[in-house]
Structure 1
Amino acid sequence: MESAISVAGPVAGRVPPRRRSPLPVRPRSLPKRYSVRAQVLAALRDALASGELAAGETYSAPLLAERYGVSATPVREAMQRLASEGVVETVPNRGFRVTGRSQRDLAEVAEVRAALEIPALLALGRTLPRERWEELRPLADATVRVALLGDRAGYADADRAFHRELLGLTGNRHLVAVAQEMHRKAQSPRVGGRPAGCVELVTNARQHGFLLDALACGDLVTVERLARAHLAA
């Protein structure tokens, strides 16, 4: 019987394998095309939120590329991402059509958001002290300031930031990610509807402050009522 070879040492007569040195750790930037695509995607989202890209209209990648001063490739990549989210659809030989959301779509999105966010808020409202809610006051105030300017794209960003930090208090990253995805869907252009005006934006923005007031006071009945009305809007 052959003797077992010890795993602790090298085999006799064999040169032990040379251990590779670990690769040096140094800063590394992503390829430029990814950063350009991300910038184009952000610009397209802003244009959708502001109503600059309207539901039902078709836009070609080369024309959008000319508008943003980039090549058509990152525009097509960004549009494909939006297509996967159901915001646009591909039109052969023409470009991409903004599909928009129907009233039914928006009602269903609001229902999903309510199912995700309201139980989380009520649970937080039972446990968090008043000062934790006050930490979010600057974000709520920021949504009002942007709304007063009538900046729909800026308001969309500020609104998502407030809700992201609000739900972030749960410590559940997956909840925040899913809720943010649904929030983006809620901000998509509406079929046959007009973009929200300044008055509507300000009304919606001020609800953030009212919600924080109710949470700070531990008034959970008001929290649920305000949250449902806010999400439905």
Structure 2
Amino acid sequence: MNAATGILVPAESLREQVERTIAARIVSGESLPGEVLTVPTLAGDFGVSATPVREAMLNLARRGFLQPIRNRGFQVTEVSADELRQLSDVRILLEAPPMRIVAGNVGPELEQELRALAARIMQAAQEGRFEEYLESDTAFHLRILEATGNAKLVDVVRELRQQTRLVGLVHLAETDALMPSAREHGELVDLLVAGDGPGAEALMRRHIGHVGGLWSGLAED
């Protein structure tokens, strides 16, 4: 998307760009459950034809983010607190233990890449740019898991992240409560570089636990 105009520009398929942007709005809570989205309105907002918007919304419906409403458009679906907690629990089981494998095995190139992503996450959090925050956060977590050499693990976690809603993200940004979570990315890199596997695992458990608590708009346990 062109930052100055807000118009989508061809770098990847238009459908992918539109889907990513709409998904970020839903995931962050900018588009709330129950809101009705229409193809003509979004096509006008993005400056594209109706076709890529319709394709993107149909794909988001298959992912469970939207529900088609006959002759009206697509409605943002509800997500329960229990479902959010289940997703975060599964992610903790999959993402936390591998930190012991990665710890002490982060070379200079990977460290530089992770620190750059952590910096982007911090800046996006400070400026309330939710789409960039979510993209950088996903890239950060998947890049760490790639270091395990387990491609199946990376694929499963990527799919789980596509199902996760962070409906409290907008509110957190408004109150600066997002910043502690954003800073945890840099702290995690420090632990991994230092070879502190148990510490990195504990931090990852706490970090992902935010999804089922503060980021869901609920109090954490």
| Equivalent residue, structure 2, for 1:160 | 138
* Structure 2 residue 124 is matched with structure 1 residue 124: no
* Structure 2 residue 49 is matched with structure 1 residue 71: yes
* Structure 2 residue 214 is matched with structure 1 residue 227: no
Q: Distance in 2 between matches of 1:195 and 1:51?
A: 6
| Equivalent residue, structure 2, for 1:210 | 187
DSSP-derived class of the 1:55 partner: coil
DSSP-derived class of the 1:96 partner: strand
| Equivalent residue, structure 1, for 2:122 | 144
Residue 162 of structure 2, aligned match among 160, 163, 184: 184
Q: Distance in 2 between matches of 1:214 and 1:130?
A: 13
Q: Distance in 1 between matches of 2:42 and 2:106?
A: 48
Equivalent residues of 2:105, 2:195 under 8 A apart: no
109-118 or 193-202, which moves further after superposition?
Answer: 193-202
Q: Which has the higher helix share?
A: 2
**Normalising by structure 1, what TM-score?**
0.75
DSSP-derived class of the 1:195 partner: helix
Q: Distance in 1 between matches of 2:84 and 2:54?
A: 26
Q: Distance in 1 between matches of 2:143 and 2:106?
A: 16
Report % sequence identity.
Answer: 38
Q: Mapping of 1:1-233 within 5 angstroms?
A: 35-125=13-103, 128-129=105-106, 131=108, 134-135=111-112, 136-186=114-164, 188=165, 190=167, 195-198=170-173, 199-233=176-210
Equivalent residues of 1:147, 1:202 under 8 A apart: yes
Question: Following TM superposition, by how much is the alpha carbon of 1:85 offset from its aligned partner in structure 2, in angstroms?
Answer: 0.9
Structure 1 residues 47 and 83, CA gap change in structure 2 (3 angstroms): same
Amino acid at match of 2:195: G
> Which structure 1 residue ranges, 5 or more long, are not aligned?
1-31
Q: Distance in 2 between matches of 1:48 and 1:232?
A: 20
Deviations 1:124-161 (A, max 9, x none): 22x51564663322211221121111222221111111
Deviations 1:4-41 (A, max 9, x none): xxxxxxxxxxxxxxxxxxxxxxxxxxxx9x92212221
Structure 1 residues 144 and 119, CA gap change in structure 2 (3 angstroms): same
Q: Distance in 2 between matches of 1:129 and 1:152?
A: 28
Structure 1 residues 101 and 128, CA gap change in structure 2 (3 angstroms): same
Q: Distance in 1 between matches of 2:32 and 2:106?
A: 43
Q: Distance in 1 between matches of 2:19 and 2:106?
A: 38
Q: Distance in 1 between matches of 2:127 and 2:45?
A: 24
| Equivalent residue, structure 2, for 1:11 | none
| Equivalent residue, structure 2, for 1:14 | none
Equivalent residues of 1:204, 1:230 under 8 A apart: yes
Amino acid at match of 1:195: V
Structure 1 residues 35 and 203, CA gap change in structure 2 (3 angstroms): same
Q: Distance in 2 between matches of 1:194 and 1:56?
A: 17
Q: Distance in 2 between matches of 1:196 and 1:227?
A: 22
Q: Distance in 2 between matches of 1:194 and 1:144?
A: 14
Equivalent residues of 1:100, 1:189 under 8 A apart: no
